[in-house]
Structure 1
Amino acid sequence: MKYVVPFHLKSIQTKLFCTYSLLIVSVFMIAAITFYIFMARQISLNASETIYQSANNISVGLDALLQEMDNTVVKIIFSDNIKKLFFNEPDPTSEISMFANQRELNSHIFSIMGPLQSDWQINIMNMKGRIWGTGDYSINTFLPLYKMEALDWIRSTNELDGRKWISTPRKDDWFPGDRTVISVSRRFPWDLGSSRYAIVEVQTDYQRLTAAINKRITPSSGVSETRSYMVFDRNGTLVYPLGADSTAAKLYWSRVQANATPSGKLELMRAGGNEIVSFTRSDYTGWTVAVSQSERVLLVPLVRFRNQMLIGAFGLLIVTLLVSFYVAKSLTAPIKQMHKLFRSLSLNTLLPASQQQINAELNELEMLSTAFKQMCLRLELSLEETLLSRSKEIQARMAALQSQMNPHFLYNTITVISVMAEEAGHHEIVRTCKLLSKMLRYILDHDKPATTIGMELDYTIDYLQLMQIRYEGMLYYEIDIHPDMRHIVIPAMTVQPIVENFFKHGLHVPPPWRISILGQMDDTRWSIQIADNGTGFSPEMIEKFPEWATRIDQERDFQRNPSKGIGMVNIDERLRMVYGNGAEFRISNNREGGAHISLGGHVKPASNLEVAPLYGTR
């Protein structure tokens, strides 16, 4: 049955996808919000700055227009020819004199104005009611003094006593039709200290003022049509546009007047929505230009930018989420393959050759796959070691059962020999029988896998005494063991087989033969050094013994050819079963000749083993 890994919230792929997605979304949202706030502020500032520049441009244009008109007024005032003609008119009542005088005045006026100001109207009047004018139309008449003084702009001009007066839009007092104008006027005397005064007025049609304002309005993709433009004089009278909502004009003026600075920006809350107002106040004219625009319209570029950014952000977010999904999938695909391989693991698929190849493009997963294959190989070897150890245990039990078939017969036979030897006075035979009986009992009664160093050495000493009886004065041995070592647990039949190995392979040198057994220990480890003066080990065995000790499959070769050191390998293997990696077993040759074997381990064995009863007790 095909195994499919279910989608689960706790799966690695889900966690990777959610983590990466959350991280990407968080970083993206923080960056997008920060960028949006920054751009919103910049767009708002740019829009406000555009409004302010528009107000400033209009103010500069109005200043230029009115200053040009005032300059004309000043030129006329300082023209001696015009003053002589106007103040020293020979006969104001004579039509011939009036027309002649008017032609001469027109000539002087046009020389001052030039051809570019042909749409201006210049009027000169004295306090006796004499009025003369030229420009858009001509006027040459008298007006009663009380009518002149009834005009507001004339009264204001007289009050300023030579300073300029700029009138708000008003009806032209001299034109017979309906004409709205603005004017700049000044009062001037005939001469310094003279009591005779006159007023010079330069007026222009209100439409020219409107044209000057419209010319200064910056066209910006239709945005200017959504703005409101207002011009106030220093008293708050609405100069432009005429006919505007007076309530709205008063509201704008009240907010602007409350601001003491000559220019600035403010926010006005109205029923239709908030408005941004920029204003500038002219030092020359005293007029204030205010430009307002709905905040909603002002922020149209910002809204457009926000929508475009949201669309782009959404698309980019979808792409990043897809990339995150495929990255998480590519990372977890090898893990899923390994999970599938784990579930299908059996004794038949332990070896790497029988396992499915895992396609991993990451070093870590490749290392994990390699480690898994190595684990399977070690598991295979461990199983073989376990089976071999079990086989050895069964063989040992069979041998023990065979040796125990009739132990009483062996004991009784040795006892009979001992009694006969004692009756005959052969004391060496009696001693030999006692030693042999003790050793036989140690072997047959030793059904536990472990013993102590003390019991193993007692057994070895009995064996050496038997060998001394056999070889009489040709064998000497030395045993020096730390007393605390006698209670250390070791595998049974560890020391004696090494000593016996000398009598099997080391007696090819002339006697006397010497065997030494020396033991040392510290707080953590113990060691026993066994040396003789025999022929020693062959160079081949010393070189290949570590390899033989680690290759279990050599066991069959050892059984077929015991000369290869199966006894030594057996002792090394049993030491490792008790002490694990802490076991020590090394073979070498002494410099002066003979074999040298070193074995040891930790003071405390790696595994708990049952220890046989004390040697020599029943």
Structure 2
Amino acid sequence: MKARSRSIFYTIFISFFLVLMLFLVTFCVFYYNDESKQMKSLMFSMLTTRAEDISETLDQKINQMEMVSAELAASKEIANGLDYLAGASKGSIESPVFYERDGTVTQLREKLLSYTGSRKGADQINVYLKNGAEISSGLNNELRMISGEKLQKLSQMENGSGSRYVYFSGFNEELSRYYLSDIGKYFITFLYEDQNAGGKDGALVEIQKSIFQVIGSVVYYQPIYEENIYLFDKFGNQIYPLKQDGGYAPYFEAVQATGQDAELLFQNPETGREEYLIYNYSPYTGFYTVFAMDRQRLVFSIYNNFLQFLPFVIVILGVAVILSLMIARFLSRPINRIYRYVKETDFGSPDMRALPEIQTSVVELNTLTKAFKLLQTKLREGNDRQLVLQQQEMQSKMLSLQSQMNPHFLYNSLATIQAMAEEDMTDEIVIMCQTTSRILRYISSDKERMVPLRDEIAHTHDFLQCMYIRYDGDLSYEVHIPREMEEILIPKLCVQLLVENSVKFTTQTKPPWHISIMGTVDNRGDEKIWLLSVKDNGPGFTKEKQEEIYDKIAQIDATNLLPSLELKGMGLLNIYIRLKFSYKDQFIFYIKNTAPRGCEIIIGGKYE
């Protein structure tokens, strides 16, 4: 599709306006990125600090429970009482009288009860003995045998926990009646094994505390960025908010897989929205404190801040339009004068008028004016030079034709035919006449300047056959051209002229004489090239002759002119300049001597 034409004024105006708009957009993007980074950094910093504070508070609450466990383990009275219970029978344990009136049991019960209460760090203490007895103190006080279900659960915990086990035990039906709020009915449990009490096998001690007492700071937490807060124990149990308010295990899975004390961008599988998770892990309790905030919250905040700059942006747009119009008018005026001059001037006319003086304060426009004036002069010189080049190309072609139709070739061919007629060599005469006829027909045909290599090789073969007959078999030749090279286009009469040059100088030495024509296709880097070699066993080139030829080639490359248009000695230069005209410098041409004698001329180009 053809591009739509536009005036220079419109083009300059749009260009400068777009540049200013690009600057404005870049500023907005930079502002957005900078503001986003600052807000994100501030948010992460504040929420990370909050998460650390909450985690530290939880550690303190759990530490209180651990201190109770240490005091229990250090009490000899409790150890003696548990040893006493460990030796009691099942009937005694299940008897209310034994629990209420036995002195040792009463003393143990009162001692355990002294460690409960909000100031002591425990709401409930349960001790499980190996003989199946369970004594409870705190909110619930009783002595009983452990149920099978409870015993199985404790065994699993004991096997997987080691000596210390902190976890979220969830809703406690027995203790829930002592709390009115829902959150007070859920408990954190600190479970440990006391090896110094309850007999030689020890006892399991369970210290429980309502999560309301543990996470009160979380319950009354006021969001800063509309974030939500979640608490998990190390096993993925959701501590807060309560399961009845909605559980969200994917948060735990995401932070557990990432590592400790970090932030990450998380895609909510329920809503499909991206959220930032800022969390803290406590190695002491194994609890995770997680803040979740919708990523769009940041975008909205930045958008609201950007609205404050909207009047400033509108003013900048207005200034950009006015400034672009002024610059476009200033720059387009002298360019329009040059455009009208170019439009109204016939550059092919010898009476081409000069460009009027255009002086501006812009150095580039003044330089452009001078360049147009210089262009006028170079254009005239270029037209004259092009005519010279065209004339030289025509002369080069004529020289080639003259070289091929050299009278000596015709005289020698006729003399050879006459000699063969005298010796009654009928077959050779027929061959000589046919090849000579084809040679003259090929030379005189001027339909195409470039011909397939196949046709050029056929013509060269006719020429060599004439030479073979003329020199009575003293001249031999071979031709090997790959099939893939047959369609390559080369200048007409180029190969035959190379061969004729070889015949001319080779036959000045003693026979036998041999000429070889070889073609190859080769890869050089990423390009594929073709090469054509004409080799003989003649005297070769002297050093002075080689230097003379290369000096003239250098002169041709520098001036694009032939150094001399004489027929004599123009064979190789004729070929070089025709290759140069045909392939626009994308060709190969070099000569070299071969051992023990002879020379080789190679031409080539890009294989397409």
Q: TM-score range by the shorter chain?
A: 0.3 to 0.5
TM-score by length of 1: 0.42
Larger radius of gyration: 1
